[in-house]
Structure 1
Amino acid sequence: MLAFGTPEKQILIKPIFAQWIKSVHGKTSYGFDVLLSSMNGPSFNAGRSIWLSSWLNVVNENSNSLFLKIGPGDFLVQHAIALGLHTTILILVKGALDTRSSKLIPDKKDFGYSFPCDGPGQGGT
C-alpha cells in the first residue's frame, strides 16, 4: 500500500498463502518444496506418468498468462474484490430480510420478524 504518494514508504504484503497454493500445483519459482514443486516427492514422480505429461512445463514457463507470479498488487486486488462481493451480498440479504413482503417470502409479516430497537408499535420494546 502506498503511503502519501511516496514509494519509499510503501508496505508490500506478500501473498504467501496464494504462492504456497500455486507451489502445490507445480510452480517452482516461489521456493516452496511441496507436492508437485518438489522434485523428490512421490506426487511429482507419479504426476509425470499419470497426469498431463507437460503440466509442469506449462505451469513454469513465463509466456503463459494464467500462471504468472503473484505479487503484492494481486493480493490487494483480490481483497478489494472480496470486500465488494461481501458488501453486496450483505446489502442484498439485509434488504430481503427487512422488507415488509416480497415474492420470495410473501407471508413475512406473519413471522413476527422484528428488532428489539424498533419501538413498541413494530414489535420491539
Structure 2
Amino acid sequence: MSPSPEDAFQIAHDAYIYGLPMVENYRVMYSNAVKAGLGYNRLTGTAALYTPANHEVPTPNNDTAYSKTWVDLRAEPMVLTVPPIPERRYYSFQIIDYFTNVIGYVGTRATGPRAGSYLFVGPGWTGSKRA
C-alpha cells in the first residue's frame, strides 16, 4: 500500500525538518575543515569581528570574538584545557552535536573562572581518564 499524497507530503516535511540542521552543520563543517583546510581537532579563531557580510552561520553578536573546532573522536578522545579567566571576563564554549542540540557548556556560568581540562569522548569509549 502506498502512502496518500497528503501522507507523503507530511513524511517529506518531517524528514526535512529533522534533517536540515544536520545537513547545514555538515555543509559548514565541510566548508571549514575540508575545503578551507582548517582540519579537525584544532581550535581556530579570527582576530576580526563578524559583520553582516559574514553568511556562514548566524552571528548574533558583532562585538564578540568567535572561535570554533570540529572534533573528530573516532580515533581518540580530545581534551579542552582552559586557563584561569579573570573574574571580570566572560567566556563560553558551547558544545553541540550534528543536529545543533546543545550538549553542554564550558565557561564562566557553567564551570566558573578556574582553569580546567574537559574530556570529550565518542560513543562507546571504554578508556580511562588520567588527571
| TM-score using structure 2 length | 0.26
Q: Which has the higher strand share?
A: 2
Larger Rg: 1
Q: Which has the higher helix share?
A: 1
Larger RCO: 1 or 2 (CA < 8 Å, sep 6+):
2
